[in-house]
Homo-oligomer: A and B are copies of this chain.
Amino acid sequence: MSKPGPIFNHLALIGVGLIGSSIARAARAQGAVRKITASARSPATRRRVAELGLADQVLETNAAAVDGADLVIVCVPVGACGEVAREIGDRLKPGAVVSDVGSVKAAIVRDMGPHIPNGVHFVPAHPVAGTEHSGPDAGFAELFVGRWCILTPPDNADPAVIERLAAFWRLLGANVESMPAEHHDLVLAITSHLPHLIAYTIVGTADELAEVTRSEVLKFSAGGFRDFTRIAASDPTMWRDVFLANKDAVLEMLGTFNEDLSQLTRAIRRGDGAALFDHFTRTRAIRRGIVEIGQDSPAPDFGRAHPGLPAELPRPYAVSDEN
């Protein structure tokens, strides 16, 4: 039995939002690294990161933060990663590992790749985990436990380096899988990007109806709608970048989704109950599969808390024995 211990000496985090701050907390808690430096664009974030003690040093420039680092993880929105790579390229230590956490991978390879010098290892990564909250306060050390981190190493990557980065993520609690960047983008288009697009759409639709007030939408949201609002509360910058960077795969999945929606719409219009019942029965099995492999809670309603019953008879009803 081996004890958790440092896998890298010096970790540099570029960006300390939900994901960056969760990596910092988890890496600290597990002793995965000996030293953490970080950079953040806004003074408010830098101050907060220092207050929270998430890093040994919080620096203003990305270039300064990566100085001497063995592992650099870029934790900024996908659209900003290319510029970050340009800024840090010259300052990277020979032999260092550069990675990221972006939800799109082919665009990351395209945008960051050219700025990574020879002798530095570039292994893009995507921990499939998150919440609807953003910023350094939103992170927590357990975010990655039981979730999957997908690595998309280039063909010529050193297997020992891949394994070292995989070990880092496993120490943070994640399961690790490798696949080509293009396949990642297709898989995530259906398991993450399209669900977000649909959720953003329907929440917007509900907010603009003439016949139903916003107050009614909020009050009666427990009928299903509220589940979509959590996803549609995700960080707007991050998601703008995801859709711009993974356009082709998202549009492809959207095409299939639209065909399927047309088919169900037709069944409703024609009153074809058998077709609806068959479809609804099939989808139930997927949920069971997700719960069985531990990717969601078996508790009903995601395990949402239910407050207790009222202790008093609500006014104005008066009890009489004749009732």
Chain A interfacial positions (CB closer than 8 Å to B): 1-9, 26, 29-30, 70, 79, 103, 128-133, 138, 140-143, 145-148, 150, 163-164, 166-167, 170-173, 175, 177, 183, 186-188, 190-209, 211-212, 214, 216-234, 236-237, 239-241, 243-244, 247, 250-251, 253-254, 256-258, 260-261, 264-265, 268-269, 271, 273, 276-277, 279-284, 286-290, 293, 295-297, 300-319, 323
Known: A3-B313, A133-B300, A209-B256. 12 other contacts (CB 8 A): A7-B323, A164-B317, A194-B202, A197-B261, A198-B228, A199-B227, A200-B280, A203-B283, A204-B282, A217-B286, A218-B286, A218-B293
A233 touches B6 (CB 8 A): no
Give which listed residue, B30, B163, B211, B225, contacts A186 with CB less than 8 A. B211
Chain B residues closer than 8 Å to A198, beta-carbon distance: 198, 202, 228, 261
Give which listed residue, B221, B287, B303, contacts A305 with CB less than 8 A. B303
Shortest distance from the beta carbon of A240 to any chain B beta carbon, whole Å: 4
Chain B residues closer than 8 Å to A230, beta-carbon distance: 227, 287, 296, 301-302
- A302 and B304 in contact, given A194-B202, A202-B257 (Cβ under 8 angstroms): yes
A172 touches B309 (CB 8 A): yes
Chain B residues closer than 8 Å to A254, beta-carbon distance: 261, 265
A175 to B192, CA, bound (A): 35
Give which listed residue, B146, B205, B212, B303, contacts A302 with CB less than 8 A. B303
Chain B residues closer than 8 Å to A308, beta-carbon distance: 142, 145
A1 to B276, CA, bound (A): 50
- A226 and B276 in contact, given A172-B309, A319-B7 (Cβ under 8 angstroms): no
A65 to B253, CA, bound (A): 50
